[in-house]
Chain A
Amino acid sequence: DTGVSQDPRHKITKRGQNVTFRCDPISEHNRLYWYRQTLGQGPEFLTYFQNEAQLEKSRLLSDRFSAERPKGSFSTLEIQRTEQGDSAMYLCASSLGWFGQAGTGLFFGSGTQLSVL
């Protein structure tokens, strides 16, 4: 499978706990994005990496959220002291440079569904 892979698919946690999600992008893709999607809404941008550099973060990414892409390959998204409002699907996407040149879009993984009890 050469698509974007996310782990775990589902995570149930108690309020106040820390959680970490992993994303493995398509191997040659240098751009990696994290999005969050809640019911009835479209995906909302969280953060963007080009290789290992985190170049943009959304206002949605509070101090409790941190993302890394240490070697420019896989990425992790950590949420500290989870709150019930963090319950959502967390999506990872990747692309090789500007996708408009290829006439394609971002390639998304299947997401991690987080439930905070």
Chain B
Amino acid sequence: DQQVKQNSPSLSVQEGRISILNCDYTNSMFDYFLWYKKYPAEGPTFLISISSIKDKNEDGRFTVFLNKSAKHLSLHIVPSQPGDSAVYFCAAPSSNTGKLIFGQGTTLQVKP
């Protein structure tokens, strides 16, 4: 039962353009969402989060949008840079223990 889904395994964009990574969830009880970035042979690094009381959160080049009615969130990276090339995971805590449920990940490649 995949409660958090990232249906696009990969995305390729040109440097300077916008990258949009998508994530869907099935559990309406989720009230906090996170995006992580992962380079090969390293652990995931926290990128940005959003509470369900908001529909947008921005941090520099990164913006996360939340559409609760559609159970959908997206991460926008503008402008994209080659150093952004990595695997991106969305996640949600399933309980107050902070246990995170992760999506399968989307590999982003930003071409110079």
Q: Does B73 contact A (CB under 8 A)?
A: no
Interface pair B98/A99, CB less than 8 Å apart: yes
Given A42-B105, A100-B51, A105-B36, CB of A56 within 8 Å of CB of B97: yes
Which B residues fall within an 8 A CB radius of A? 4, 6, 9, 32, 34, 36, 41-46, 49, 51, 89, 91, 93, 96-105
Q: Does A110 contact B (CB under 8 A)?
A: yes
Interface pair B43/A44, CB less than 8 Å apart: no
Given A91-B44, A109-B43, A111-B42, CB of A43 within 8 Å of CB of B102: yes
Q: Does A21 contact B (CB under 8 A)?
A: no
Q: Which 9 A-B residue pairings sit nearest by Cβ, starting from the closest?
A: A42-B102, A108-B43, A105-B46, A105-B34, A100-B32, A110-B43, A108-B44, A42-B89, A45-B99
Which A residues fall within an 8 A CB radius of B? 4, 6, 31, 33, 40-45, 48, 50, 55-56, 91, 93, 95, 98-100, 103-111, 113
Interface pair B98/A33, CB less than 8 Å apart: yes
* Residues of B close to A50: CB separation below 8 A: 97
Give the Cβ gap from B28 to chain A, nearest Cβ, in Å.
Answer: 17
Interface pair B42/A110, CB less than 8 Å apart: yes
Interface pair A113/B97, CB less than 8 Å apart: no
Interface pair B96/A98, CB less than 8 Å apart: yes
* Residues of B close to A31: CB separation below 8 A: 97-98
* Residues of B close to A98: CB separation below 8 A: 96, 98
Pick the contact of B99 from A33, A91, A109 — CB < 8 Å?
A33
* Residues of A close to B43: CB separation below 8 A: 4, 6, 91, 93, 108-111
Bound Cα distance from A40 to B1, whole angstroms:
17
Chain A, Cβ-Cβ closest to B90:
A42
Bound Cα distance from A91 to B44, whole angstroms:
9
Interface pair B98/A104, CB less than 8 Å apart: no
